[in-house]
A and B are shown apart, each in its own frame.
Chain A
């Protein structure tokens, strides 16, 4: 009985960690897709870039974890802004196929560039001294770094929701997702809003990629290998929603961990089947509008 309970706690714990990382990475994608209707398959590349910049700064330059993480987010945010103005903006409101192809091309470029610069092996990630090892909570031994991930994720989620509900930018964002034309009509600068939201989402992805570097290994194939997971979170959660993806990330994170723990012989099969079933029942996602 005790074993079953402790296994359940373990599954819930690791599932929650995965959910936090998935949410941080995917929430920006949800906003991009909901706001601009843009199928950005290359979103994972921003998370990968965040992971690479952070691990490089830490491993080769000897920077502290917080500083390295901050710089990684800053670099990726700036880089994504350039890409948005140069490439993405040209295809807003365009053909779905063109968007798929453009971002597929970007994924391939990211694979090639990452292999060229960092080689094919995964980047090692050493958590700071303070967060290594494990600690005890109510009789369960929990790894410190992953607990830190959960706390971090919870704080960021709260801040995001508050920002969306309480700030002017959040109100503009909600207005534009609800009705783009009307938002433009009442004088919201949607072009600037798009760019800001895009850069912000990419920055969050970089944060998720950096924080989750020991969970989703930083390898050149990152954007391609994890693409299905990011897309599942967004599609199940509902486009343009901030809360939906969180719920979806929880479902995916915990279900995936549980299924891989209890029925490892099926791997990720059931998570795909679950996604398919949810999407058939709710084609616009759980929190999506019809």
Chain B
């Protein structure tokens, strides 16, 4: 798994530094969690929205792992989000409402679908791959739409009964349990993603993104690694879908839609891709803005978010994190 074999002339000091950089937590990394806890006390009336935001951050993290690190552009990640949501939803609607095992089942189902889809479609690249991701999601959408007797079709899945977490913490109507549950799951997922991207495996993903020919040349098993990261990312997306399903007690066709695949990409881009924290910035910004503006006038919302995207792509590449970095080091390397 090591991609940087011991080099005889390598100075040990930079290597130690890089090891420390990889594994030690920066104090600033506590910021998102402090903000989340502060928000819990500051806005008790908006806990349901906050729980949604936390779950969506998990989804955005899964896309970031795929797009930001492995460089795989996907327009169909809602496929795995939806599989996770429907798995957890169907379990809870059919007599098994235990949330943690529901999450695991969602992750497993999405992971299996991701593995199969990845093994098939990842041999293509560029526009063809983009099309394949789109088509996989479209197929699952059609399946869920037409299997109305199982999934509820266009009406959505009704009648979910989610049991209390650990058998004690009931999902209350204020969303306190939902919030803390989502926060805990997000923390675990974030630790997983952070560990992965800083591991040798994660480095090899970056290598694949930057120059796939050289990765082949140094003997890295490129195809296997792409399928592996696709599976992992799909499983994470499944967790996010299951989280949303359990906390809202509803699963609709929208979880599998192209719109969902597109908006999660947008949220991630707003924050910044491939920097691990883009999701923590982009998702809240997007969802809070959506909550504010869309409640005033849902018609305008689409127009403004579209305009915002256009401006972002043309003038503020790298998202919020990219702009912040450029402001801090105007002459530094631009991503």
A275 touches B306 (CB 8 A): no
A289–chain B nearest beta-carbon distance, Å: 13
**Which residues from chain A contact B125 at a C-beta distance below 8 Å?**
283
A112 touches B301 (CB 8 A): yes
B132 touches A276 (CB 8 A): yes
B314 touches A279 (CB 8 A): no
A6 to B306, CA, bound (A): 46
Please give the number of chain A residues whose Cβ is less than 8 angstroms from any Cβ of chain B in the complex: 43
A112 touches B299 (CB 8 A): yes
A109 to B302, CA, bound (A): 6
CB of A254 closer than 8 Å to a CB of B: no
A235 to B132, CA, bound (A): 10
Q: Which of A107, A110, A235, A268 contacts B138 (CB 8 A)?
A: A268
B265 touches A283 (CB 8 A): no
A269 to B132, CA, bound (A): 14
B128 touches A284 (CB 8 A): yes
Please give the number of chain B residues whose Cβ is less than 8 angstroms from any Cβ of chain A in the complex: 46
A279 to B306, CA, bound (A): 30
CB of B67 closer than 8 Å to a CB of A: yes
**Which residues from chain B contact A111 at a C-beta distance below 8 Å?**
302-303, 306
Chain B CB within 10 Å, residue with most, of A100, A108, A109, A272: A108
> From DSSP, what is the main secondary structure of chain A's interface residues?
helix
Those of B81-131 within 8 Å (CB) of chain A:
120-121, 123-128, 130-131
A106 touches B310 (CB 8 A): yes
A selection of 19 A-B contacts at a CB cut-off of 8 Å is A87-B314, A98-B313, A101-B265, A101-B309, A104-B262, A104-B309, A105-B266, A107-B262, A107-B306, A108-B306, A112-B300, A112-B304, A231-B131, A232-B131, A232-B135, A265-B146, A272-B139, A280-B124, A283-B125
Chain A residues within CB distance 8 Å of chain B: 33, 39, 87, 90-91, 96-98, 100-102, 104-113, 115-116, 224, 227-228, 231-232, 235, 239, 265-269, 272-273, 275-276, 279-280, 283-284
Chain B residues within CB distance 8 Å of chain A: 67, 73, 75, 120-121, 123-128, 130-132, 134-136, 138-139, 142-143, 145-146, 258-259, 262, 265-266, 269, 273, 299-310, 312-314, 317
